[in-house]
Structure 1
Amino acid sequence: MPADVFEPPAQRGLLTESIARQLQNQIRSGALPVGAKLPSERELATQFGASRNVLREVLRRLEAQHLIEVAPGRGSFVIDQSAADARSYDALYRAGRPTVRQLIEARIPLEVEIVGLATERATDEQIRAMRVVNDAMIAATDPVTKARADLEFHETIAAAAGNPVLRIMLSSIGGMMFEMMLRSNSDPSIAQPGVPHHPEILDAIEARDVDLARHHMREHLALGLRTYGADLDVGLDVMAARHIETLLERRTAG
């Protein structure tokens, strides 16, 4: 039975991402309208061939994204997204079907400014936190954990910039950034050239060299423009879904 399925940790993360994306798309497209009750955990586990633990994580993810409300004893229901917080902007962005190129174009001016301010304002404790997160990213052995640490690295820099508006702006595109990072951190042609930029950014922040920090951040983000190839102008949702399924197939075959 699906409830007894055991997935290795790396595969569990990919399954969670894959199933969450499918349900997100059903909710955002209206296939699951506001007020609709989702199938039970057991039914979803059977439908997707995954463990109950994976489905619990999926439902927690949807609840955190303000797509569903979990009512104890009654089930999970699709809610009106207009009541969501800043992260609800994710749905507005996706309605425009942004490409990888467009996300990079948006991140460059935003994160270059963020890192400049962080270089001026970061405390020693905040810089240590950046290094801890970056070390965790380097040590991670599965793409989901690595991508989450990568996102946290950029969010930690945003926190150090000391500007809540910029931090919220970055947070609002965090979901799309994660999808891009999932691809970047599991594709050697992108991951290997990109890895050196993090330590370079950190060293520049620690040295309080604003111009150098901005330069390294710009180079880090622009790397995708040179390495994504045909995927650069594919819709971000399409690219991410395709890549997750490819990773799952590799894990299953292995």
Structure 2
Amino acid sequence: MPTDLSARMGDDLSRSHRGLLTERIARQLEHDIRAGEIQAGSKLPSERELAAQFGASRNVVREVLRRLEAQHLIEVAPGRGSFVREQSSVPARSYDALYRAERPTVRQLIEARISLEVEIIGLATERATDDQLAAMRQANDALLKADDVVDKAYADLDFHDAIAQASGNPVLRIMLSSISGMMFEMMLRSHSDPAIGEPGVPHHPEIFEAIEARDVERARRYMREHLTLGLRTYGKDLDLSVNVMARQHIETLLSQAKGRG
């Protein structure tokens, strides 16, 4: 039995390490492409070469390439390789890229989220259908069950997106979606920081209960308190750019995962 437990713990650490490594490599290549450091039309190194360059497995590299392809940053030509697409062909140049060009800080992102998500949750509490409540419940359950920080961050993002969808306002949902990449990076840090479990602060279960009870005032108050927590717990990271904070934190998590391995 102890042997089986050790093996499972090893698998969890390995999965966590792979997820974080995927995030780091994808962020680096996305930055290089958007900044023009890898020119449009250029062929990326082969999977084997990228794996050697970043010290990753080829499975991790394949996941990175799938993500870049989904973002319309590269085009994969079977048998020929992966090529960087013309930036003009990337839909709207992506609001995410426009935000990052301004180097927004963690504090500024939290301020934006408070303004946006407190309004979103008020509408969602009034308008959510049974199916939309079920989607929120599913995301909340996935977050509570997740062991890996990357899985937790994705489930967290799904929860907030489900609330935005339930608002019934596509403009607000698109506005929130446009900052989802930076939100995800904040969530990676939040879900690996014990201070985020500060007692008395409403988290997803309490927020969902307020929505389910159709208590608009309580839902809005809980969302504000939930988001404001970051202003007390992020410390010196508050005034770092989101990009710098995310890069530093992913490197820290990778070092910790290696140390435990």
TM tier relative to shorter chain: over 0.9
Match 1:16 to one of 7, 22, 28: 22
Match 1:249 to one of 236, 239, 255: 255
Match 2:150 to one of 126, 144, 159: 144
Distance in 2, Cα, partners of 1:146 & 1:87: 28
CA RMSD of aligned residues (A): 1.7
Sort the Cα spacing of 1:82 and 1:170 in 2 relative to 1 into closer, same or farther, 3 A: farther
TM-score (norm 2): 0.91
Residues 58-207 of structure 1 mapped to structure 2, 5 A cutoff: 58-85=64-91, 88-193=94-199, 196-207=202-213
TM-score (norm 1): 0.93
Question: Per-residue deviation at 1:80?
Answer: 2.5
Distance in 2, Cα, partners of 1:61 & 1:207: 38
Sort the Cα spacing of 1:82 and 1:111 in 2 relative to 1 into closer, same or farther, 3 A: farther
Distance in 2, Cα, partners of 1:181 & 1:194: 20
SS of 1:8 mapped into structure 2: helix
Distance in 1, Cα, partners of 2:197 & 2:93: 27
Residues 20-31 of structure 1 mapped to structure 2, 5 A cutoff: 20-31=26-37
Deviates most, 62-71 or 36-45: 62-71
The one-letter amino acid paired with 2:124 is A
Instruction: Confirm or deny: 8 A CA contact 1:194 1:223 kept in the other structure.
Output: no
Instruction: Confirm or deny: 8 A CA contact 2:87 2:93 kept in the other structure.
Output: no
In structure 2, list runs of 5 or more residues that go unmatched: 1-10
Distance in 2, Cα, partners of 1:74 & 1:194: 56
Distance in 1, Cα, partners of 2:36 & 2:29: 11
The residue number in structure 1 matching 2:230 is 224
The one-letter amino acid paired with 1:123 is T
Question: Per-residue deviation at 1:52?
Answer: 0.8
Sort the Cα spacing of 1:191 and 1:20 in 2 relative to 1 into closer, same or farther, 3 A: farther
The residue number in structure 1 matching 2:7 is none
Question: Per-residue deviation at 1:207?
Answer: 1.1
Residues 208-223 of structure 1 mapped to structure 2, 5 A cutoff: 208-223=214-229
Match 1:51 to one of 39, 57, 60: 57
Offset from partner CA, 1:170-197 (integer Å, 9 cap, x none): 1111100000000000111124559742
The residue number in structure 2 matching 1:236 is 242
Offset from partner CA, 1:103-150 (integer Å, 9 cap, x none): 111111111111111101101221122111111111111110000100
Deviates most, 68-77 or 144-153: 68-77
Q: Percent identity?
A: 73
SS of 2:37 mapped into structure 1: coil
In structure 1, list runs of 5 or more residues that go unmatched: 1-5
Deviates most, 20-29 or 55-64: 20-29
Sort the Cα spacing of 1:227 and 1:126 in 2 relative to 1 into closer, same or farther, 3 A: same
The one-letter amino acid paired with 1:93 is Y
Question: Per-residue deviation at 1:72?
Answer: 1.8
Question: Per-residue deviation at 1:84?
Answer: 2.5
The residue number in structure 1 matching 2:3 is none
Aligned residues: 249
Deviates most, 77-86 or 199-208: 77-86
SS of 2:94 mapped into structure 1: helix
Offset from partner CA, 1:153-184 (integer Å, 9 cap, x none): 00011111111111111111110000000000
The one-letter amino acid paired with 1:228 is Y
Runs of 4 or more, structure 1, over 3 Å off, are 191-196
The one-letter amino acid paired with 2:188 is L
Question: Per-residue deviation at 1:205?
Answer: 0.7
